[in-house]
Structure 1
Amino acid sequence: MGADVSTETVTTQVPSRLDRLPWSRFHWRVVIGLGGVWILDGLEVTMVGNVADRLTEPGSGIEMSAAQIGVAAAIYIAGACLGALFFGQLTDRFGRKKLFILTLVLYLTATVATAFAFAPWYFYIARFFTGAGIGGEYAAINSAIDELIPARVRGRVDLIINGSYWLGAAGGAAGALLLLNTSIFPQDLGWRLAFGIGAVFGLAVLVVRRNVPESPRWLFIHGRQEEAERIVREIEDEVARETDKTLAEPEGSLTIRPRKTISFVEIAKVAFTRYPKRAILGLALFIGQAFLYNAFTFNLGTLLGTFYGVASGTVPLFFVVWALSNFAGPLLLGRMFDTVGRKAMISLAYLGSAAVAVGLTALFYAEAGGVVVFIAVLSACFFLASSGASAAYLTVSEIFPMETRALAIAFFYAVGTAIGGITGPLLFGALIDTGDRGPVAISFLIGAAVMALGGVAELIFGVKAEGQNLEDIAAPLTTADEKPA
């Protein structure tokens, strides 16, 4: 351990006190205030897909090519990766709450700037900083959610919150149907207003988020035991008043040595020397879902326009159907991640979506069934894939020690997404630009292969985390039986 680790110990029941709480309005406040970011992300990412074809048209005010749309997607993902790493370290150092406020403000500023884009280079810059804000949110929000939600429902709640991304996607797509209607809005205005939707919703989330407390788990690990106890006591009092019942006694306690910071070197050491199998698992899950998702999300509009002749103003209608199928996956399957178990369900999601993707490839290459059948099979594929993608964030948040949680999410998101999330949009965008179904079909198969690898990794290295306290899945680095260096 570093010199910032205290030689004094602190014994706490904060984790067990939080995990034994019945579901309450407090938990709904956490879900809405923190989970709302995924709706924002859904609006942002799929908004580009919805308006992509419009941006390539003369008179749009920016006139980008399909390849440039792919570049913009890759730049957004690069911003998200770097933002996750930068803000992830700050989240573990300065707290969840400060960072989930700061990163949301950055997102709001950048997405408003996107609406004023007049050239590809400006669009790229605005998308980079929008991505940086969203990437920072991933680290701050996922860590805070898992530290505040009771263990018995953590899986389903986490999956549904992450899956709410697709509610934003569906809402943005539905709004784009109106905004891209040139009989209502000029060709160079509607797509700009589309980005404003995210900013308005973000302000509403910011208001709710101000009432979400700092994570008590983060507070006690950083030596702020009294503050942690006060926040938990306030939560318990609120829940007791709401339920009009005496809360059950907490079971078990945890003794740790408080610490202030953790370096990238130490988290890499923890991940790859103490938990090497878990590190491989995290990378496999993130690379698989990042490639498949970002490739389709950023390029579906141009794919439909190029190969199925779908008009740019009609593309959002297909996005709505696809997005709702993605939300339905975590919503309907989420409970099973807590009952059947993480390992079985995650492997099913990854391997099942890979199998359907192979069928989608054959359908696309043979030009069979038309656009309706294509969207139907694509929706079936992502019904499964969406649960797996959400479970990737849940997995990394659960399987590494408390002190490294936000940075672990950031690290595996950034590395996995840099490999899969940047190459996917670039490859798909460039191949769609050729207008040839053959190369595009091959990229479909690549997506299926990386998802299948994620499923195999889960079968081999998966961790049975359902119903367990976070501290039992991965003991804190500063538990009292471990002597500081």
Structure 2
Amino acid sequence: MAMTDRRSGDSATVSTAVPARLDRLPWSRWHWMVVLGLGTVWILDGLEVTVVGNIAARLSEPGSGLPITSAEVTGLAAALYVAGACVGALVFGRLTDRHGRRKLFMVTLALYLGATALTGLSFHAWWFFVFRFLTGCGIGGEYAAINSAVDELIPAAYRGRVDLVINGSFWLGAVGGSLLSIVMLDTGVFPAAVGWRLTFALGVVLGLAVLLVRRHVPESPRWLFMHGRGEEAEELVTSIEREVSTSTGRPLEPVDRRITIHQRGAVGFLTIARTVFRSYPRRAALGLALFIGQAFLYNAITFGFGAILTRFFSVPSGHTGYYFAVIAFGNFLGPLLLGRLFDTLGRRPMIAGTYILSGLLLFGTAWLFGRGSLSAVTLTACWCVVLFFASAGASSAYLTVSEIFPMETRALAIAFFYAVGTAAGGISGPLLFSRLTETGVVGDTVLAFGIGAALMTAAGIVAAFLAMPAERRSLEDIATPLSAAS
């Protein structure tokens, strides 16, 4: 299993079985540690984002301790958060490919925690805006660093379901955030100027716990051997194999598959761009379609959901958290229950199916809403069913772009498609949907639903033609590394 090394010009050519050794591992406690260390940060993101949306009305009230309007929280602050996520994804995605997964997933979590803590100390609107932007930078960087690390550490047979559940765990945090906001908005429990600050503090405490677990997650052995640290990669995989074998009580099967590469340093940005768009144009079109489709669908439903409930169904603003907790739970159940099928039935039918079905269901919901056939409860039930499928599809977008491009481009590819999709749906989306849902006109809200449904359905049709059969395949088989020896 040792790595062989020979010199070719100025670079070393190495033959290694590291990818095959990682992919043939059975599931073990070590993999659970990776999931807990890397994946649980999405729970914090869901908690924090949902709380901010739910406490917007309270922040705008006299006595909140922050001179800010509800529109500024849900409009400008939300757009700055998304803009920060786009910037963070691109900057930290590039650094992740250059300096390694581990360094960056520690840095991005530290930035996220620090900015979240300082948001809770806001006494001026500009301070709140600045640290919402920086919080977004941290979470954008997390998407690039975490997804690339997870896919390179998890065995091929489990990669799809694990990636989906990790990305879908955002909605567990959203459930907690929805219920937590109910308590924090109760001035009988906390003063108006204190409760919202404590929600940010709680997020920091939970994040520190994640940081303690994350310290034990190693660098990606795939990244190590690609960057001239072959001996370290071999030693790391050997220690992982020893731990897995001990915890499962099963001997590991021998591996005879090897890959030969020319070890190299960081790949230039132009090389990455040329690879993604010139060498893999169909895959690039797929990634853009998936990210833009899911971003607009989610904005169509979740942006202004509280305003829809209060305006059209007279739901008290302090009770909207209960409704959002229901749809958030439906969001998590989708990846949890459907994730296994992405590894068994296959990527193409599941990606296309979840996108198209969620789009068609949202069209149906829009029609029922336009007819006046829904109540607050039945609308929430419809949203829950739509998002059960949409969440699995949206999570598969991150899985897709993290596995269909060469390893040297992986983190930046995730960052790029996340940034473009998020900018399209997460910046223009709120500006568009806030105007449509705040008019109080039923037809405008129906139009908002229709736009999200149409783009989601179109993305599913694209996936039906372009999605890759990546299930149970090694990452190196799906996309040959740029460094691979011919």
User: TM bucket by the smaller chain?
Assistant: over 0.9
Q: Calculate the TM-score normalised by the size of structure 1.
A: 0.95
Q: 2:225 aligns with which of 208, 220, 225?
A: 220
Q: CA deviation at 1:58?
A: 4.2
- Aligned residue for 1:184? 189
- Aligned residue for 1:23? 27
- Aligned residue for 1:7? 11
SS where residue 152 of structure 1 aligns?
A: coil
Task: Determine if the alignment matches structure 1 residue 447 to structure 2 residue 452.
Answer: yes
1:288-315 CA deviation, whole Å, 9 max, x = no partner?
1112224544432333233332222212
- Aligned residue for 2:322? 317
SS where residue 416 of structure 1 aligns?
A: helix
One-letter amino acid matched to 2:14? V
Q: CA deviation at 1:286?
A: 0.5
Q: 1:81 aligns with which of 75, 82, 86?
A: 86
> Unaligned 5+ residue runs, structure 1?
none
Aligned equivalents of 1:407 and 1:368: distance in 2? 45
Task: Determine if the alignment matches structure 1 residue 97 to structure 2 residue 102.
Answer: yes
1:209-253 CA deviation, whole Å, 9 max, x = no partner?
000000000000001001101110110011111122211012410
The answer as to whether partners of 2:40 and 2:210 remain within 8 angstroms in 1 is yes
> Unaligned 5+ residue runs, structure 2?
1-8
One-letter amino acid matched to 1:12? T
Q: CA deviation at 1:453?
A: 1.5
SS where residue 373 of structure 2 aligns?
A: coil
Aligned equivalents of 2:318 and 2:189: distance in 1? 12
Q: 1:67 to 1:309 in 2, by over 3 A?
A: farther
Aligned equivalents of 1:118 and 1:60: distance in 2? 9
Aligned equivalents of 2:111 and 2:380: distance in 1? 34
1:388-439 CA deviation, whole Å, 9 max, x = no partner?
0100000000100011111110011111211122111121223333232322
Q: 1:94 to 1:172 in 2, by over 3 A?
A: same
Task: Determine if the alignment matches structure 1 residue 326 to structure 2 residue 331.
Answer: yes
1:191-215 CA deviation, whole Å, 9 max, x = no partner?
2222222211110100000000000
Q: Calculate the TM-score normalised by the size of structure 2.
A: 0.95
- Aligned residue for 2:343? 338
Q: 2:305 aligns with which of 291, 300, 309?
A: 300
The answer as to whether partners of 1:53 and 1:302 remain within 8 angstroms in 2 is no
Q: How many residue pairs get matched?
A: 477
Aligned equivalents of 1:440 and 1:113: distance in 2? 36
One-letter amino acid matched to 1:28? W
SS where residue 261 of structure 1 aligns?
A: coil
Aligned equivalents of 1:114 and 1:365: distance in 2? 39
Aligned equivalents of 1:86 and 1:135: distance in 2? 9
- Aligned residue for 1:48? 52
Task: Determine if the alignment matches structure 1 residue 279 to structure 2 residue 277.
Answer: no
1:111-260 to structure 2, matched below 5 A, reads 111-260=116-265
One-letter amino acid matched to 1:233? T
SS where residue 289 of structure 1 aligns?
A: helix
Aligned equivalents of 1:369 and 1:87: distance in 2? 44
- Aligned residue for 1:66? 71
1:52-88 CA deviation, whole Å, 9 max, x = no partner?
3333444433341336512221211110011000000
Q: 1:440 to 1:106 in 2, by over 3 A?
A: same
1:359-370 to structure 2, matched below 5 A, reads 359-370=364-375
SS where residue 426 of structure 2 aligns?
A: helix
Aligned equivalents of 1:314 and 1:125: distance in 2? 29
Q: 1:379 to 1:297 in 2, by over 3 A?
A: same
Task: Determine if the alignment matches structure 1 residue 357 to structure 2 residue 362.
Answer: yes
The answer as to whether partners of 2:300 and 2:451 remain within 8 angstroms in 1 is no
One-letter amino acid matched to 2:83? A
SS where residue 183 of structure 2 aligns?
A: helix
The answer as to whether partners of 2:299 and 2:452 remain within 8 angstroms in 1 is no
1:236-271 CA deviation, whole Å, 9 max, x = no partner?
011111122211012410000112112332221111
- Aligned residue for 2:400? 395
Aligned equivalents of 2:394 and 2:80: distance in 1? 21
The answer as to whether partners of 1:289 and 1:385 remain within 8 angstroms in 2 is yes
Task: Report % sequence identity.
Answer: 59
- Aligned residue for 1:462? 467
